[in-house]
Amino acid sequence: IRYSEDKGWHDARITARGSVQMDPASSVLHYAQEIFEGLKAYSRPDGGAALFRPDANARRFNASARRMAMPELPEALFLESIRALVRTDAAWIPQDEDGALYLRPFMFASEVFLGVKPSAEYLYMVIASSVGAYFKGGAPSVSLWVTREYTRAAPGGTGAAKCGGNYATSLIAQAEAIRNGCDQVVFLDAVERRYVEELGGMNIFFVFEDGSMLTPPLTGTILPGITRDSILTLARDLGITVREELYSLEQWRADAESGRLTEAFACGTAAVVTPIGSVKSAEGGFTIGGQSAGPLTQRIRSSLVDIQRGKAADPYGWIQQIL
């Protein structure tokens, strides 16, 4: 779907995947005015297919658009673009337990103009791809590297928007994590370099021996994950106390070493809920619990997956059946 200041949104169509021709002066190539979303269509036990909270993705997409000085896409158009592509690509939805059709809506500045100002023209697209389990063989625990050198987002910046630039800044930190023998990077806040924020592509939860949970608050520097939001609802309905509070690396280490912290997990659309087994930083490392999925992590994971896969009732209206 195209956007121009004079015509608004127009020219919606579905075409076979192919290349996009761009002028070298297209403004996105210079100033990175680009946003995206990620969601999945799941096969249903009855043979149909469903989306999980696509309206939440539509709202976050528009929040990202506002931050990046881009036009909002009406929610109905966003949802119809997703539904239309899933119907077209229905044959690509994996029927197995772990598979899904991953959908990637995105929008970028397409005006041919080198001045530094918001573009007057945009292109919105959705592409789809079949995906399997994010981690083969279920959900083994992941190891995290705490980066001291890099931060992901500063107050007033774009941390809460899902824009390509946020990922451009985190690539080097992810590479640092791999170099240090860890699976994923975890970022601390940019001001004090003290509080745990999120991973490169997932939010984080902590579980304590009294059965309560904690996740960092939405201070504007982390992405408001839809999985994070769903887990907050599920956990509270399961009678679990969940605090949204700042949590320092120092406290995390002390709690893990004293046994007060019993589990930690990362969450996001791609890997759903993944236990965190160990944490490493320049000051040394520590492990968490038994290094595999703890009971509360497993409980949260199955409550969520069962709703997504149609194996449990959906009291929240999260599922949108489309086929």
Position 139 contacts ligand PMP (CB under 6 A) = no
**C-beta separation of 248 from 194 below 8 A:** yes
Query: Smallest distance from the beta carbon of 88 to ligand PMP, in angstroms?
Result: 23
Shorter beta-carbon distance to ligand PMP: residue 111 or 271: 271
Query: Smallest distance from the beta carbon of 301 to ligand PMP, in angstroms?
Result: 13
Written as one letter, the residue type at 5 is E
Of the residues 2, 29, 30, 38, which one makes contact with ligand PMP according to CB under 6 A: 38
Neighbours of 47 (CB within 10 A): 8
| Site size toward ligand PMP, by CB under 6 A | 12
Query: Smallest distance from the beta carbon of 83 to ligand PMP, in angstroms?
Result: 19
> Smallest Cα–Cα separation from 40: which of 114, 80, 98, 122?
98
Length, in residues, of the chain? 323
Phi, psi of 43 (to 5 degrees): -75, 150
The sign of the CA dihedral 59, 50, 134, 264 is positive
Query: Smallest distance from the beta carbon of 236 to ligand PMP, in angstroms?
Result: 17
Q: Which of residues 199-258 bind ligand PMP (CB under 6 A)?
A: 201-203, 223, 225-228
Position 198 contacts ligand PMP (CB under 6 A) = yes
Position 41 contacts ligand PMP (CB under 6 A) = no
Long-range contacts: 302-306, Cβ < 8 Å, 24+? 303/234, 303/238, 304/227, 304/230, 304/231, 304/234, 304/272, 304/273, 305/272, 305/273
Span of 129-137, 175-183, 196-204, 273-281 interacting with ligand PMP by CB under 6 A: 196-204
The residues that touch ligand PMP, with contacts defined as CB under 6 A, are 38, 198, 201-203, 223, 225-228, 268-269
